[in-house]
C-alpha cells in the first residue's frame, strides 16, 4: 500500500452530455472541491463506452475510471442502464485478466443536479485508489 499523502490518483470520468455533464459542471460552479487530477470525457450515452477504453486508460496512467451513467434518464436507449452495466462488468473482467484490480473502475448514476454526490464519489474513489496505489504498480 502507498501512503495516501504521497500519491494523488488520476481519474478518468466518462460522462454524458445531457445528464451527468450538467451535474459535474454544477460541482465546479458551486466551488465544491474534488481532486484536480479528475479528467472528464463527454459522450452522448454511457452505453457506447467500449470496455477496452477503460483498460487503455489504466494502461496509459489513469489510476481509476469512473462512469457517470445516466441511469434511467437516458434519452437514447431504453435499456441504457443494462448495457452500461455490461460495459462495466466486461471492463472489470478485462482489467483483472491484465493484472489490474477490477475496483479501478466504478460506476454511479449522476444526474444534472448531482453536484454534491459527484463530488463525494470523486473523494471516495480517490481515497480508495490512493490506498491501492498507482495502477502501474500491480500490472504484470
Q: Which of 23-27, 95-99, 132-136 has the highest mean pLDDT?
A: 95-99
Q: Give the contacts of 140 (CB within 8 A, at least 6 positions apart).
A: 98, 99
Which domains does the chain carry?
Answer: 4-135 (3.40.50.960)
Q: Give the contacts of 21 (CB within 8 A, at least 6 positions apart).
A: 15, 40, 42
Asked if the model's pLDDT at residue 3 lies above 70, the reply is no
In tens, the pLDDT along 50-85 reads 999 999 999 999 999 999 987 666 565 566 677 888
Provide the pLDDT for residue 58.
95
Amino acid at each position: 500500500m502507498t501512503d495516501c499523502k504521497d500519491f494523488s490518483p488520476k481519474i478518468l470520468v466518462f460522462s454524458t452530455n445531457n445528464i451527468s455533464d450538467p451535474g459535474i459542471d454544477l460541482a465546479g460552479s458551486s466551488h465544491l472541491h474534488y481532486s484536480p487530477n479528475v479528467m472528464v470525457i463527454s459522450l452522448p450515452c454511457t452505453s457506447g463506452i467500449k470496455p477496452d477504453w477503460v483498460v487503455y486508460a489504466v494502461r496509459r496512467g489513469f489510476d481509476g475510471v469512473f462512469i457517470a451513467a445516466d441511469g434511467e434518464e437516458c434519452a437514447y436507449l431504453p435499456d441504457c442502464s443494462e448495457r452500461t452495466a455490461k460495459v462495466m462488468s466486461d471492463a472489470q473482467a478485462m482489467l483483472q485478466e491484465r493484472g489490474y484490480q477490477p475496483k479501478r473502475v466504478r460506476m454511479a448514476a449522476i444526474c444534472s443536479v448531482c453536484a454534491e454526490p459527484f463530488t463525494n464519489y470523486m473523494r471516495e474513489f480517490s481515497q480508495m485508489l490512493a490506498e491501492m496505489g498507482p495502477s502501474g504498480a500491480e500490472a504484470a
